[in-house]
Amino acid sequence: MTTDTRNNANNNKNEKYARLFFAIQPSKKIQKTLGQVVEKQIQHDGGRLIKPENIHLTLLFLGKTDIDKISALKTAAGNITAKTFNLTIGKTRFWKRNQIIYAHADIYPPELFTLVDAIKNAVQNAGFEFDSRAFKPHITLARKVTRHTLVDFQQPVQWHVKEWLLMQSRQTDQGIRYTSLGRWPLH
Ligand code: ATP
Ligand code: MG
């Protein structure tokens, strides 16, 4: 495991809790491509774009977490071994109830669900709690969208997923900002 100490949640001694989630995050190049696809849709349909650097797929949302427990969380996560997998993303979808446009992969391979189950088991055994709702993979690209016109990808995006991350979400003056507190390779 490598740790982004620069972004460590303990940097600010006044913070007692962190808003955390586990995620996979595509390369900057893929984030940019996905951002460009949805930008066209937003121009047409309205809504608020997710900043390209924030584009991710949430594996498990933990929410408010005591920062004193983050090292135990990372230890639990570090014991997981899981496999790499590929996602082919060729379309966007509209989730009307949540008013989002999200990127959708043709197939979500079993390795993804195995990884999520492994994370759930590991963090539960380490004493952490989370909502037990079913995992529905999606990559949010825009919010507050009320209608959706399909814009085809010129070429599907091929995302080779080779690591997963523990992310902290912070509200800042520049909007929501994510920082990674830990990352683990897939094999
Ligand atoms: P904002 O809430 O300002 O629009 P955001 O949703 O990107 O921004 P967070 O609310 O911190 O930021 O959420 C971080 C990630 O966790 C996002 O992928 C979000 O969809 C997911 N998430 C947030 N709340 C939950 C929840 N209760 N259950 C499952 N996933 C959640
Ligand atoms: Mg949110």
Q: Annotate 53-94 with three-state secondary structure.
A: HHCCEEEEEEEEEEHHHHHHHHHHHHCCCCCCEEEEEEEEEE
Q: Show me where the domains of the chain are located.
A: 19-161
- DSSP H or E run through 172: strand 163-172
Ligand 1 atom 17: the closest Cα is on which residue? Answer: 58
Could you tell me if the CB of 61 is within 6 A of ligand 1? yes
Question: What phi and psi values does residue 83 have, to the nearest 5 degrees?
Answer: -100, 150
- Is the pLDDT assigned to residue 104 strictly greater than 50? yes
Q: What is the mean pLDDT of residues 50-67?
A: 97
Q: Is the pLDDT at 35 greater than 90, yes or no?
A: yes
For residue 32, give the H/E element and its range: helix 28-45
What's the confidence (pLDDT) of residue 6? 46
Architecture category of domain 19-161 in CATH = Alpha-Beta Complex (3.90)
What pLDDT was estimated at residue 10? 46
Q: What is the pLDDT of residue 148?
A: 87
- Note the ligand closest to the C-alpha atom of 63: 1
Cα 58 to ligand 1 centroid, rounded to whole Å: 8
Q: What is the pLDDT of residues 123-174, one digit of tens each?
A: 999 999 999 889 999 999 999 999 888 777 889 999 999 999 999 999 999 9
Q: How many angstroms separate the CA atoms of 10 and 66, rounded?
A: 11
- Provide the pLDDT confidence category of residue 13 given band limits of 50, 70 and 90: low
pTM for this predicted structure: 0.92
* Ligand 1 contact via 135 beta carbon (within 6 Å): no
Per-residue pLDDT at 154: 85
Report d(CA 180, CA 113) in Å as an integer: 21
The CB of 58 under 6 Å from ligand 1? The reply is: yes
Q: Are strands 57-66 and 17-24 parallel, antiparallel or unpaired?
A: antiparallel
Instruction: Please give the average per-residue pLDDT across 78-90, as a whole number.
Output: 97
Ligand 1 probe mutation, 21, 53, 57, 131, most atoms within 8 A of CB: 21
Q: How far apart, in whole angstroms, are the C-alpha atoms of residue 22 and residue 76?
A: 13
Output the pLDDT for position 64.
97
6-32 residues labelled b (16+ CB within 10 A) or e (exposed): eeebeeeeeeeebbbbbbbbbeeebbe
Q: Is 131 in the pocket of ligand 1 (CB under 6 A)?
A: yes
Q: Which ligand is in closest contact with the Cα of 169?
A: 1
pLDDT value of residue 45: 84
**pLDDT tops 60 at residue 103:** yes
* pLDDT exceeds cutoff 70 at 39: yes
Which residue's C-alpha comes closest to atom 31 of ligand 1? 61
